[in-house]
Amino acid sequence: MDTLTTILGQNIVFLNVITDRFQEGGFLGMTLVFLCLILGIFFTIKAFSNLKSNLPTFTKYKKLINQVVLLGLVISFLNSLLGLIQAFDSLEATGGADPAIVAGGLKVTLLSPLFGLLVFVLGYTATFILSWMRKTDLEEAK
């Protein structure tokens, strides 16, 4: 029983950390990247369900996956650049800041591209696996 309580407690702490990082990265930008992740998962499921269908349908879903995860990556970098511009505006207005505060701000600025890269890698990995599975199916059919 103690082990289950420990595991559940660790999961709750992990989810709290993820939620905090999500909010630190900028709510709007991170939400848009998250929506790209959800769309990528949806299109991946559709592509897996159409794995044995005709080639144009399968290719359409692969392209949609690649485009939506690339959009997520671009949005994450845009979000990061907007955050940097705001930070530099604040530094300019105040005339400088403590290096520890600047380092903390840079850390927060990198959260969005990190999440965008994660979405991008997951999407491209899915299309790689889909292509490999489709190629294997076509070779077996010969």
pLDDT at position 127 is 94
- The label of the residue with tokens 């959009």 reads 71
User: At a CB cut-off of 8 Å and minimum separation 6, what does 115 contact?
Assistant: 22, 25, 30, 33, 34, 76
* Per-position pLDDT tens, the chain of length 142: 566 566 556 666 767 777 777 677 778 888 999 999 999 999 999 999 988 888 888 889 999 999 999 999 999 999 888 888 877 777 777 777 777 777 777 777 888 899 999 999 999 999 999 999 887 665 565 5
Identify which of 17, 63, 18, 20 has the alpha carbon closest to the alpha carbon of residue 39.
63
- How far is residue 106's CA from residue 130's CA, in Å, rounded to a whole number? 37
pLDDT at 122: 95
Length of the chain: 142
**What are the residue boundaries of the structural domains of the chain, listed by start?**
2-141
Task: Give the model's pLDDT for residue 85.
Answer: 83
Assigned token pair, 138 = 């076509």
Dist. CA 142–CA 138, nearest whole Å: 7
User: pTM higher than 0.85, yes or no?
Assistant: no
User: b/e string for 53-79 if b means 16 or more Cβ within 10 A?
Assistant: eeeeebeebbebbbebbbbbbebbebb
Q: How many CB atoms lie within 10 A of CB 37?
A: 20
Cα 123 to chain center, whole Å? 9
